[in-house]
Amino acid sequence: MAPAPIFLAFASGDNDVRGKQLVISNINACQIVADAVRTTLGPRGMDKMMVDSNGKAVISNDGATIMKLLDVVHPAGKMLVDIAKSQDAEVGDGTTSVVLFAAEFLKQVKNFIEEGVHPQVIIKSFRKATELAVEKIKELAIKVRKDDVAGLRSVLERCASTTLSSKLLSANRDFFSKMAVDAVMVLDELLPLDMIGIKKITGGNLEDSLLVSGVAFKKAFSYAGFQMQPKHFKNPLISILNIELELKSEKENAEIRVENVEEYQKIVDAEWQILYDKLQSIHDSGAKVVLSKLPIGDVATQWFADRDMFCAGRIPIDDLKRIQKSCGGSMQTSAQKLTKEVLGTCGDFEERQVGGERYNFFTECPLTKACTLVLRGGTEQFIDEMERSLHDAIMIVRRALKHDAVVAGGGAIEMELSKYLRDFARTIPGKQQLIISAYARALECIPRQLCDNAGFDSTNILNELRQKHAQGAKWFGINVFTEGIADNYAACIWEPSLVKINALTAASEACCQILSVDELIKHSKGGNEYEAPDALPGRGRGRPG
Q: Which residues are catalytic?
A: 62, 95-96, 392
CA 74, CA 517: separation in Å to the nearest integer?
14
Phi-psi region of 539 (alpha: psi -120 to 50; beta: other; left: phi over 0): beta
* AA letter at 528: N
d(CA 154, CA 106): 38
Task: Look at residues 7, 3, 56, 60 and name the one whose alpha carbon lies nearest to residue 29.
Answer: 7
Backbone angles phi, psi at 495, to 5 degrees: -150, 155
Q: Say if CB 108 and CB 442 are below 8 A apart.
A: yes
Query: DSSP assignment of 106-153, as one string?
Result: HHHHHHHHHTT--HHHHHHHHHHHHHHHHHHHHHHPEE--TT-HHHHH
Judge contact between 395 and 212, C-beta under 8 A. no
Q: For residue 397, with 0-12 CB atoms within 10 Å meaning exposed, 13-18 middle and 19 or more buried, which class applies?
A: buried
Q: What is the dihedral of CA 113, 114, 118, 121, to 10 degrees?
A: -40
| Nearest-angstrom CA–CA distance, 314 and 310 | 14
Instruction: Give 211: exposed, middle or buried? Use CB within 10 Å, 0-12, 13-18, 19+.
Output: middle
Distances (CA, A) of 513 to 70, 77, 102, 308: 21, 12, 11, 65
Give how far Cα 99 sits from Cα of 49, 110, 384, Å: 19, 17, 23
Q: What span, in angstroms and rounded, lies between the C-alpha atoms of 480 and 42?
A: 9
| CA-to-CA separations, 396 to 83, 156, 238, in angstroms, rounded | 17, 8, 34
Q: Which of 330, 319, 323 is nearest to 366 (CA)?
A: 323
